[in-house]
Amino acid sequence: MQESRLFKIVYYLLNKGRATAAELAGKFEVSVRTIYRDIDALSEAGIPIYAEAGRNGGISLMDEFVLDRVLLSEGERQEILAALQSLAAAGNTFDKSTLDKLSAIFRLSSENWYEVDFSRWGEVTRDNEKFETLKKAVLCHRCVRISYVGAYKAGSTRKIRPLKLLYKSRAWYVKAYCTEKQDFRLFKLSRILSWELQEEEFEPMAFPEPAVREDEENLPPVVLRFPGEMAYRVYDEFEGSQIQIQENGELLVTAPMPQDPWLTGFLLSFGPRVQVVSPAYLRDMLASQAREIYEKNSESGGETVRCPMETVPRDAGR
């Protein structure tokens, strides 16, 4: 327990620069006397920590202090290397020598024991370039001009102030302030078609946490039925607690979902392998859209377009 607190004290001082004994005692829920004993223990361990008396005094570290491996347990050192390995897998976000140097300091092997790759198949180079540009923009507080495919407009040009990169629900996003909309927005990286780092800088700001609306807290449940062979997709999209396996092998899903155009599009992505059990109006809406898709794709200028394996009229491709 003491070793963990000693490391936390050093980490706190590295971030804040200076703190009083009373402040540290309150932070770590110990007495001031215990804090002074911890300071003595750190000093004996070779950590350049010192205390200054007086009105502007306090406890601080030497300016050139670098965190030493002796403060970290083997488990903590393994966790740090694992975290860096994950970042490296996200797209070569830093030089591999960083891992090698830390491995030497920690006296642990930097050999990866797992692999994570967030890039899409066949898009490794462009995805990594995009990730690196946005990462630089976040760290350097620089604007980025992007071409973005939104819900209602394809390829719109935006100037954004990237604040943070977010990985959520199997996709990368950038939390940013959009100068066009004069508001905070969440942009999906896969929908960013082009990007250009700008020289213009901006003041760092916090991305506001979205307020949970009452209608989102009380979403009506949707009941869906899938054949057993769709399990691979069903378990990708829904939590295990929302899925019931029926005696005949079918999967019955009950989940609260926003009943809007997104939902019908999502359900249509399952093709004929989904049945809406309830609500009834959603089933009717889905059937109506399916009929519209059929009618739109069955039009052939008055001629019948046969299956590719059958004979096709000579002028069918004109």
pLDDT tens across 55-74, in order? Answer: 777 888 877 665 554 556 66
Q: Is the dihedral of CA 121, 122, 128, 129 positive or negative?
A: negative
Angle between helices 2-16 and 32-44 in degrees, nearest 10: 90
Is a pLDDT exceeding 70 seen at residue 6?
yes
Task: Please tell me the total number of residues recorded for the chain in this structure.
Answer: 318
Rounded Cα distance, 262 and 281, in Å: 15
Model pTM score: 0.51
pLDDT at 87: 55
Q: pLDDT tens digits for 118-176?
A: 566 666 667 778 888 998 999 899 999 999 987 655 668 899 999 998 887 677 899 99
Query: Cis (ω within 30 of 0) for the bond into 279?
Result: yes
Rounded Cα distance, 87 and 161, in Å: 22
